[in-house]
Structure 1
Amino acid sequence: MELNITNGKTLSVSDAVFGREFSEDLVHQVVVAYRNAGRAGTKAQKTRSEVNGTTKKSKKQKGGGARHGALTAPIFVGGGVTFAAKPRSFAQKVNRKMYRAAIAAILSELNRQGRITVVEGFDVEAPKTSGLVSKLGELKVGQRPLIVTEDASENLYLSARNLPYVQVRDVQGLDPVALVGADTVVITSDAVKKIEEWLA
């Protein structure tokens, strides 16, 4: 299949990468697994047996109203937590083949929706936000563009750093969450070829 470049030329690409059938279940699984991998999983709370305090019965059984045992019970302020959270890993296993298939499925769906803009090259001469804003304005991208280049320069990263909804990735750093969250993906022709080599 062919992708149109902004300079009027066309770029021949693989149907397996940019014309793949979309699988919502696969993409959802990979996106959830990717986001879970970034979770620290360090939350910790204390049970009633771990709280610092005596386990002695707080008052006599009868004659004092409600019957209570130790003040470390969960019903008291400062007591333990009933179902205390403990440190754990949120990691989910995703095969390499599944991950690559999900990336290809997302790219294919973006292409079908006309949300991929292929450019010959994309860079800024100086690390200035205004320069990047004017460049994006010429391309008429949405509110949340994702810029993908073969090797993103430092100037490009610094220019986009102060723009809250603009993301810059090189091919090695491309991830499913960034692709799914982008209104438009601005990608260079060299990056397209490198992505094809990666997903082939």
Structure 2
Amino acid sequence: MFECEVKNWEGDSVGQKTFELRVAKEETASHIVHRALVRQMTNSRQGTASTKTRSEVRGGGRKPWRQKGTGRARAGSIRSPLWRGGGVIFGPKPRDYNLKMNRKERRLALRTAFASRLDDLIVVEEFSQQFSRPKTKDLVGAIASWGAAADSKTLLILSERSENVYLSARNAKNVKLLIADQLNVYDLLHADKVVVTVSALEKIQEVYSD
């Protein structure tokens, strides 16, 4: 059971919010979160880097000079890896970097990563109604009043997408907005402060409970 203070739009405390998430045991928590983070980082790699071997480089079919009698080293092709413009030895080729991780493990890692940010977690009331139109300055000011410094990286979690809030957050340099059912380990750990609305916190419990 975790307990957090709830703040309103002006940054004043208006109550407490408790939530419950099943997390990994202390001795295995860092290991499973690390595995999930490595999986996410490697799975985001395109794996399209490619170099040409000596057989794939254009040209080099003719022997550049005769085998003996020139005083120079033996050479069979101008596309040898030893030559400028030649092939590449053991260079990268297209490959799949994807790592597998069980769904239950991924969810456990996500819950554990979220719970580990309890000291940096800021729970706020719904504020989408404050935006009749996009206003980045108002959002940045509100985040500062909630306790997140302007130069710190802030992860803003909402229960559902609000177009005006999304457009306001899009221009903020250090603010990233996510919907509660689209969380990932990297963003949770990368942020200095995590701001979550009450309804988003309830949705996180609902979506990631098992």
TM-score normalised to structure 2 length:
0.87
Distance 1:101 1:94 in 2: 11
Distance 1:189 1:118 in 2: 6
Residue of structure 2 in register with 1:80 after alignment: 87
Match of 1:8 among 14, 36, 44: 14
SS of match in other structure, 1:192: helix
Match of 1:137 among 134, 140, 144: 144
Contact kept, 8 Å, 1:146 with 1:166, in 2: the verdict is yes
- 1:32 matched to 2:48? The reply is no
Q: 1:12-55: CA deviations, max 9, x gaps?
A: 211525x9647112111111111222221111111101111133
Residue of structure 2 in register with 1:97 after alignment: 104
Distance 1:15 1:82 in 2: 51
Q: Which amino acid aligns with 2:51?
A: Q
SS of match in other structure, 1:169: strand
SS of match in other structure, 1:137: helix
Residue of structure 1 in register with 2:127 after alignment: 122
Q: 1:82-133: CA deviations, max 9, x gaps?
A: 113211111111111111111111112111xx10001121335121211111
| Structure 1 residue 161 displacement after superposition | 1.4
Distance 1:20 1:186 in 2: 25
Distance 1:76 1:15 in 2: 60
What is the alpha-carbon root mean square deviation over aligned residues? 1.8
- Sequence identity percentage: 36
- 1:155-194 pair list within 5 angstroms: 155-194=164-203
SS of match in other structure, 2:57: coil
Residue of structure 2 in register with 1:109 after alignment: 116
Contact kept, 8 Å, 1:122 with 1:149, in 2: the verdict is no
Structure 1: tracts of 5 or more residues without a match: none
Distance 1:27 1:160 in 2: 28
Residue of structure 1 in register with 2:10 after alignment: none
SS of match in other structure, 2:14: coil
Q: How many residues align?
A: 197
Contact kept, 8 Å, 2:158 with 2:197, in 1: the verdict is yes
Distance 2:178 2:25 in 1: 22
Distance 1:13 1:20 in 2: 18
Consecutive aligned runs of 4 or more in structure 1 exceeding 3 Å deviation: 19-22
SS of match in other structure, 2:156: strand
